[in-house]
Amino acid sequence: MAPMTRNFSPRGIPDRNVASYYRKRAESGVGLIITEGTTVNHKGANGYPKVPAFYGEQALAGWKQVVEEVHEAGGLIIPQLWHVGYMRKRGIEPDPQVPGYGPMTVQAKGAIETIGLTAEDIHDVVMAFAAAAREAENLGFDGLEIHGAHEYLIDQFFWEKSNQRTDEYGGSLERRLQLALDIIRAVREAVSNNFMVVFRFSQWKQQDFNAKLARNPEELERFLIPLAAAGVDVFHASTRRFWEPEFEGSPLNLAGWTRKITGKPVITVGSVGLDTTFTSSFGGKTAHPTGIDELIRRMEADEFDLVAVGRALLADPDWINKIRDGQDCEIEPFTKEALETLA
Ligand SMILES: Cc1cc2nc3c(=O)[nH]c(=O)nc-3n(C[C@H](O)[C@H](O)[C@H](O)COP(=O)(O)O)c2cc1C
């Protein structure tokens, strides 16, 4: 199950509602659940209402319940650790006075909108990820995912457009990797050697679906090899349509290239079983079921190891059973109502 924000955790605390939501997916045959983004303990980490925190006694007790229920139902589960960077706007919980923190200070109409992280702030953020990683292992999760995608903090450092710092965290591609490398190393040190560390990344940005961190396989290699060397076990290559070739001259998608370059297990994602992207679902468009023949063809060609399914599992909690039993025609579409309920 792909990580999907639900906004159902008032005061940052995942309650019984959250536990039964994930339990339902484990019961219906999902092998590995990646939770919705959950914030690390830094004042600017959260960007949206009712997002679960991954620190504090009550929030962690809530997560413990989630893990126990998913395990009871026979599933595996990892939290997605999140810092939104400049996506945070003033007025957002937990402290509405706190502005966004990003790679650079951004002045908007006379007021400061985003504060550029100092070296000391960066250290705090790295330590917050490490603390969350330690908690994930203590709570009995089966690993963790670092959210390095979709133009949130780590990705804001990767992208040359949002990172024009002149210190060791900005400049060349190698330097723009530095925040991620610090976080991965600190996380790796905080957990046992066999505790799975997944890293999610994307080429696309919320402001620009055609943005590229890597324009060709050579650049992708420069991007991925240091991350792998820092301690990533599994890469999660976030694309909006899994069937799209990443570079000219090969049918491989981003996950396929990542596997070829790093030799690590990879997760693919993007419109599995559905005919429109998740971003068009946010625009209110209904996504209709499509079957998964192309996915199976690529899986059998060893292009990727794992498949993350997002909206299809929300549209129809019984999606896996129906696919397995060849009852494709009975699968429910993903509608505006499903997006609003997220049940
Ligand atoms: C309601 C919703 C919330 C999402 N929240 C997150 C999130 O918290 N973290 C993340 O990395 N991706 C998030 N995504 C993206 C999904 O993980 C996934 O990549 C995307 O939906 C494409 O998969 P799909 O086409 O199977 O839905 C979200 C998507 C949806 C639909």
Alpha-helical runs (H) found in 177-304: 178-190, 217-230, 254-262, 278-282, 293-300
Instruction: Please give the domain boundaries of the chain with CATH numbers for all domains.
Output: 10-341 (3.20.20.70)
DSSP label at residue 305: S
Query: What is the radius of gyration, based on Cα positions, of the chain?
Result: 19
**What pLDDT does residue 293 have?**
95
What is the per-residue pLDDT across 166-176, written as a single tens digit (0 to 9) for each? 999 999 999 99
152 belongs to the catalytic site = yes
**Residue 90: half-sphere exposure toward Cβ, Cα within 13 Å:** 9
Token digits for 303? 């292009």
pLDDT tens digits, 60-84: 999 999 999 999 999 999 999 999 9
Residue 322, pLDDT score: 92
The residue whose C-alpha atom lies closest to atom 10 belonging to ligand 1 is: 3
> Apex CA 91: angle with CA 86 and CA 95, to 5°?
90
User: Which pLDDT score, from 0 to 100, does residue 185 have?
Assistant: 98
The CA dihedral of 294, 239, 180, 91, to the nearest 10 degrees, is: -140
**Do residues 339 and 278 make contact, with C-beta atoms less than 8 angstroms apart?**
no
pTM for this one? 0.98
Which atom of ligand 1 sits closest to the CA of residue 334? 27
At 60 the pLDDT is 98
State which of 50, 278, 306, 337 you would mutate to test the pocket of ligand 1, scoring each by most atoms of that ligand within 8 A of its C-beta. 278
pLDDT for the residue numbered 303:
98
Ligand 1 contact, 77 CB (< 6 A): no
Asked if residue 272 has its Cβ within 6 Å of ligand 1, the reply is: yes
**Catalytic, out of 22, 86, 101, 152:** 152
User: What's the pLDDT at 108?
Assistant: 78
Q: Is the CB of 147 under 6 A from ligand 1?
A: yes
| pLDDT one digit per residue (tens) for the chain, 343 residues | 999 999 999 999 999 999 999 999 999 999 999 999 999 999 999 999 999 999 999 999 999 999 999 999 999 999 999 999 999 988 999 999 999 999 999 987 777 889 999 999 999 999 999 999 999 999 999 999 999 999 999 999 999 999 999 999 999 999 999 999 999 999 999 999 999 999 999 999 999 999 999 999 999 999 999 999 999 999 999 999 999 999 999 999 999 999 999 999 999 999 999 999 999 999 999 999 998 999 999 999 999 999 999 999 999 888 998 999 988 888 999 999 999 999 8
CA of residue 341 to ligand 1 center, whole Å: 15
pLDDT at res. 6: 95
Q: Please tell me whether residue 238 adopts helix, strand or coil conformation.
A: strand
Task: Please report the pLDDT score of residue 318 as a whole number.
Answer: 86
For the chain, the first-to-last Cα distance in angstroms comes to 14
